[in-house]
């Protein structure tokens, strides 16, 4: 659970693109179908090799081992989904909070204040990433070796711009008015900068 400071507001919650989850789960889906495919090849094998004897194959035994195989795939899939859902950046009006899930029972939570951010970079590789608009988002902190990195981040350029606006607001002493929301695509549209109190009077 993330503990916010007094009066700290959440601007956006950034997760990996759903295509990243699809790619991670695709091998499990193929693995679930593979035993059925192999069973389907038995008549073809018997036709090509008449001496092959499959009479000792028990349907009940196959169902038992296949059910165990599906259970293993299900557990692996749940681990992948948990890592996908809980690997998240929480962008507030004061800092970026990076939650990195490691299995079921371990997670690493780090944060970086906007005035410590040295550079924000975006990397998008390939036609698919360009089409679906996801990529690698990196935030390098000043004077620290640790780098925040989110692989497969949704709308990375929009996130970069949002972080840039918040950083400028903190560094130059004004505030950024927004409608707090947990979805990036709605919260970013309501961001607008306000001058410092007394400015322009």
Beta carbons of 88 and 106 less than 8 angstroms apart: no
**Percent with pLDDT over 70 in the chain:** 73
Q: Is the pLDDT of residue 60 over 80?
A: no
pLDDT of residue 77: 93
Residue 102 has, within 13 A of its CA and on its CB side, a CA count of 6
Q: Is the pLDDT of residue 200 over 50?
A: no
- Please state, in angstroms and rounded to a whole number, the distance separating the CA atoms of residues 83 and 77: 10
Indicate the pLDDT class of residue 190, thresholds 50, 70 and 90. Answer: very low
pLDDT of residue 51: 53
Indicate the pLDDT class of residue 87, thresholds 50, 70 and 90. Answer: confident
Q: Supply the pTM of this predicted model.
A: 0.68
Task: Please tell me which residue, 176 or 135, carries the higher pLDDT value.
Answer: 135
Which strands make up the sheet holding 134-141, listed edge to edge?
117-123, 134-141, 147-154
User: Average pLDDT of 56-60?
Assistant: 67
Give the chain's end-to-end CA distance (angstroms, integer).
Answer: 43
| Contacting residues for 90 by C-beta, under 8 A, at least 6 apart | 2, 10, 12, 13, 14, 96, 97, 99
Q: Is the pLDDT of residue 125 over 60?
A: yes
Residue 117 has, within 13 A of its CA and on its CB side, a CA count of 24
The per-residue DSSP string of 19-55 comes to HHHHHHHHHHHHHHHHHHHHHHTHHHHHHH-TT---T
3-class secondary structure, 101: strand
- Please state, in angstroms and rounded to a whole number, the distance separating the CA atoms of residues 145 and 153: 22
User: Average pLDDT of 97-108?
Assistant: 79
**CA dihedral sign, ordered 108, 112, 118, 120:** positive
Indicate the pLDDT class of residue 56, thresholds 50, 70 and 90. Answer: low
Beta carbons of 139 and 163 less than 8 angstroms apart: yes
Considering the segment(s) 10-16+89-194 as one domain, its CATH architecture is Roll (2.30)
pLDDT of residue 70: 93
Range list for CATH 2.30.29 in the chain: 10-16+89-194
Q: Is the pLDDT of residue 108 over 60?
A: yes
pLDDT of residue 180: 47
- Please state, in angstroms and rounded to a whole number, the distance separating the CA atoms of residues 195 and 21: 41
Q: Is the pLDDT of residue 46 over 80?
A: no
pLDDT of residue 28: 94
Q: What is the pLDDT of residues 136-164, one digit of tens each?
A: 998 888 765 567 888 888 888 989 888 88
**Percent with pLDDT over 90 in the chain:** 15
């Amino acid at each position: 659970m993330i503990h916010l400071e007094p009066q700290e507001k959440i601007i956006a919650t950034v997760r990996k693109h759903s295509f990243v989850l699809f790619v991670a789960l695709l091998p499990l889906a193929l693995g679930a179908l593979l035993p059925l495919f192999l069973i389907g090849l038995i008549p073809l094998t018997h036709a090509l090799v008449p001496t092959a004897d499959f009479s000792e194959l028990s349907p009940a035994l196959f169902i038992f081992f296949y059910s165990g195989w599906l259970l293993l795939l299900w557990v692996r899939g749940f681990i992948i989904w948990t890592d996908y859902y809980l690997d998240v950046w929480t962008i507030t009006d004061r800092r970026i909070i990076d939650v990195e899930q490691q299995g079921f029972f371990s997670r690493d939570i780090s944060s970086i204040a906007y005035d410590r951010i040295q550079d924000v970079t975006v990397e998008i590789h390939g036609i698919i990433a360009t089409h679906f608009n996801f990529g690698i988002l990196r935030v390098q902190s000043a004077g620290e070796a640790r780098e925040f990195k989110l692989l497969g981040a949704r709308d990375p350029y929009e996130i970069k711009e949002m972080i840039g606006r918040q950083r400028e607001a903190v560094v130059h002493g004004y505030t950024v008015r927004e409608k707090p929301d947990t979805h990036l695509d709605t919260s970013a549209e309501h961001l607008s900068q306000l001058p410092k109190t007394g400015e322009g009077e």
